[in-house]
Amino acid sequence: MSDVELHFEFNADAGASKTFPQQAGTIRKNGYIVIKNRPCKVVEVSTSKTGKHGHAKCHFVGIDVFTGKKLEDIVPSSHNCDVPHVSRTDYQLIDISEDGFVSLLTESGTTKDDLRLPSDENLVAQIKDGFAEGKDLVVSVMSAMGEEQISSLKDIGKN
């Protein structure tokens, strides 16, 4: 045979898509949509009537679920839009490191150490203050399109 060694790169992706198609006319307020390659929560939808060229158009206004920026898009209502798979998972907060990373306890008992504190200053202050007071805190982590961010906080301490 040959003396050439072949090297293959493997990644732990199952090949599942980060989005799924949905007809623009069926997307409603408080749903999710991808605008400019960013996952957004729809805050406003308006539909125009069909013009002389035949397509009714949907005007979407969305808020990026991670950055909070407002994005807009106009799509013919019969066309498909990408909708992100959005999931929310709760983890118990174990530790906050000096460099802004958090250590979280998963359901299976393992730790998750790859998340930073969120960009929302109020939420960061609540997390740090609650942790400093020794409260048992549970953070909700929202994930979509390969990104994850802490989105909310709950105190599960027994009073």
Torsion region of 14: left, alpha or beta (phi above 0 gives left; psi -120 to 50 gives alpha)? alpha
pLDDT for 139 equals 92
Torsion region of 110: left, alpha or beta (phi above 0 gives left; psi -120 to 50 gives alpha)? beta
Mean pLDDT, the chain, whole residue set: 86
pLDDT per residue as tens digits for the range 61-72:
999 999 999 999
pLDDT for 6 equals 62
pLDDT for 2 equals 56
**Which element (helix H / strand E) includes 61?**
strand 57-64
pLDDT per residue as tens digits for the range 1-51:
556 676 555 554 555 678 999 999 999 999 999 999 999 999 999 998 887
pLDDT per residue as tens digits for the range 103-157:
999 888 899 898 988 888 888 889 889 888 888 889 999 999 999 999 888 887 6
**C-alpha to C-alpha distance for 151 and 147, rounded to whole angstroms:** 12
**Environment class of 145 (CB within 10 Å of its CB; exposed 0-12, middle 13-18, buried 19+):** middle
pLDDT for 18 equals 86
What pTM did the predictor assign?
Answer: 0.78
